[in-house]
Amino acid sequence: MGAALALVIVALALFGMPLFTVMGGLSSVAWLYHRDANFHSLRYLAPDVLDARFAGSPILVTIPLFTFVGYLMAESKTPDRIVRASQAFFGWMPGGLAIVCIVASAFFTTLTGGSGVTIVAIGGLLYPALRKQGYPEGFSLGLVTTGGSLGLLLPPSLPILVYALVAQIDYNKAFKAGLIPGFGIMAMLAVYSAYVAIKHKVPRSKPDLREMGAALWLIKWEMLVPVLILGGLGSGLTGLDEAAALAALYTLIIEVFVYRDLSLKKDLPRVVKSSMSLAGAIIIILAMANALINYAIQEQIPNKVLEAMISLGLSQKWQFLIVLNIFLLVLGMVMDGFSAILVAVPLILPFGARFGLHPFHLAMMFLLNLEIAYCAPPLGLNLYISSFRFNRPVVSLYKIVLPATAILTLGLFIVMYVPKVSTVLVDKDSAAARAEALAKHEPPREAWRLECVQEDQTQPQPCTDEEKKRYPGGNTPSEAKEPHPKADDAAPADDDAPADEDDDARLKRLMKKAADAASGKPSAPEPEDEDDDARLKRLMREAAGKK
């Protein structure tokens, strides 16, 4: 019955049932028809949804705030000001207006998460301008379509935040890891744009310092938005949620009261409704995905998939990287980016740990695959949005987007096979964490979290063979060799244990027995610097008849 219901839910998904209901339905059926009757309860849906890691994460507050900022800018005249400023600074270069499109699209996508707003807001402005200046039609349409996915690797990208939440990595360091790949992809597209402009003899404007100054002054208020966010995070004065709240309040003030592009009564309710609809959809999908992930972890499904893949011969890192990228590309085309993150990340983390991948290297590969999937034929989301916005058949866009998609794919190969591109900016944090741990004579656990994917973030393991020998099981040699009473050894000293005794009662009884034993004969004096943990271990060893 459980399998039949699951198939019904999947069939309904193919007919357009919302993704959160699919995930919630599958989770409910999985628990209610679990092979162990003790799990037949819907309360098992909640643990990973209501715990501090998810419900208490600042990212949940950040998602609606950043989405609100993006929609405020899209509905105001901010796109016009961004285009004018970009044109003033880049218009004199070969491919200047195309570079303007790349920069403006990336800026918008960081706040909207590749939701299609970029194509509507920026593409709608720049496509006619590109055609008017003499750029080929196919190039212009392909560039604005691809631009809808640029910026996913740049801070404060919403997909980076969601990935960090699911993978349990530091979002600040994920922001740093994305800078070089993100700007690198933009630079590659800029070079291609310059080539097209030179080939087709697209006219260029002359540098005008007066226009640069005027355009810069016009956009001065918007330029403070990333300063507020990144400055607050970098200085430590604000957390992520606080920085997002400041950015949302600041953007509201400048758009409504400074520029007066939006009316507080007429426009604001509409903007709030649109942005919160998107943010609410993301959050409810996150919640239902976490419920499904809870079941997958309980049943060790990722480990079973890993064992099956290894049994089929997937034993080399390069083999895994090829399979991973094909899988992510297909998944990104059939799902929106946030859903793909929620579904795929828990599945690929055990593989990443098995093959010793760097956590931020894996993150950048994942997100760059999403960039490609958004605009890749035949099912890329941007293709359908662009088709609707510019009234073109979807099929006619397939060939048009191939050059830009090929450049993104080249960037993916560079990121995939040159991991330093993604990790070089995080290496200093890793080295600092390692030095701090060594100064305290502790295993560098925080450094391990930054250097290789961990299956269990609460018990990080070494990343290299050398450190695995030095820190067996992730502990110092003294911790690893510390004797622990075995069940067989402790049994004679614990014959009077009640059958239904829980851990707390057993601990109290053993400590009382240790105290009684100590009162019966002299014991070694307690060390002056002995802390509570050491004293507890000593008493329990005495209770078990150990030295």
Q: What pLDDT digit, counting tens, does each position of 477-504 carry? A: 665 555 544 444 444 445 555 655 656 6
What DSSP designation does 484 have? -
Q: How far is CA 289 from CA 226, 304, 380, in A?
A: 30, 19, 22
Q: Specify whether the CB–CB gap between 379 and 395 falls below 8 A.
A: no
Residue 547: per-residue pLDDT: 42
Residue 6, both tokens? 């699951």
Residue 493: per-residue pLDDT: 46
What DSSP designation does 531 have? -
Q: Is-cis flag, bond preceding 377, omega within 30? A: no
Q: What pLDDT digit, counting tens, does each position of 71-95 carry? A: 888 788 887 887 788 778 887 888 8
At position 218, the amino acid (one-letter code) is L
How many CA atoms are closer than 13 Å to the CA of 95, on its beta-carbon side? Answer: 21
Confidence at 533, pLDDT banded by 50, 70, 90: low
Most confident of 205-219, 224-238, 268-282, 400-414: 400-414
Tell me: pLDDT of 368 over 70: yes
Q: What pLDDT digit, counting tens, does each position of 8-45 carry? A: 766 766 666 676 777 777 778 887 887 777 777 776 66
Q: Based on the number of CB atoms within 10 Å of its own CB, is 168 exposed (0-12), middle (13-18) or buried (19 or more)?
A: middle
Q: Which helix (H) or strand (E) holds 326?
A: helix 317-334
Q: How many CB atoms lie within 10 A of CB 517?
A: 15
Contacts of 2 (CB under 8 A, 6+ apart): 29, 30, 32, 33
Residue 486: per-residue pLDDT: 45
Q: What pLDDT digit, counting tens, does each position of 238-269 carry? A: 887 888 899 889 999 999 999 999 998 889 99
How many CA atoms are closer than 13 Å to the CA of 62, on its beta-carbon side? Answer: 27
Residue 490: per-residue pLDDT: 43
Q: What pLDDT digit, counting tens, does each position of 338-356 carry? A: 777 877 888 888 888 888 8
Q: In angstroms, rounded to a whole number, what is the distance separating the alpha carbons of residues 527 and 383?
A: 72
Residue 500: per-residue pLDDT: 57
Tell me: pLDDT of 423 over 60: yes
Confidence at 206, pLDDT banded by 50, 70, 90: confident
Residue 192: per-residue pLDDT: 94
pTM above threshold 0.75: no
Mean pLDDT over 411-433 rounds to: 92
Mean pLDDT over 188-214 rounds to: 89
Q: In angstroms, rounded to a whole number, what is the distance separating the alpha carbons of residues 383 and 372?
A: 12
- Considering only 98-107, 175-184, 393-402, 529-538, which range has the smallest mean pLDDT? 529-538
Residue 425: per-residue pLDDT: 93
SS3 278: helix
Q: In angstroms, rounded to a whole number, what is the distance separating the alpha carbons of residues 465 and 488?
A: 33
Q: Specify whether the CB–CB gap between 487 and 479 falls below 8 A.
A: no
Confidence at 522, pLDDT banded by 50, 70, 90: very low
Mean pLDDT over 358-381 rounds to: 88
Q: How far is CA 233 from CA 46, 176, 190, 367, 446, in A?
A: 31, 12, 29, 22, 20
Confidence at 202, pLDDT banded by 50, 70, 90: confident
Tell me: pLDDT of 219 over 50: yes
Helices (H) and strands (E) in the chain, counts: 30, 0
Residue 523: per-residue pLDDT: 45
Q: Specify whether the CB–CB gap between 194 and 95 falls below 8 A.
A: yes
Q: How many CB atoms lie within 10 A of CB 113?
A: 29
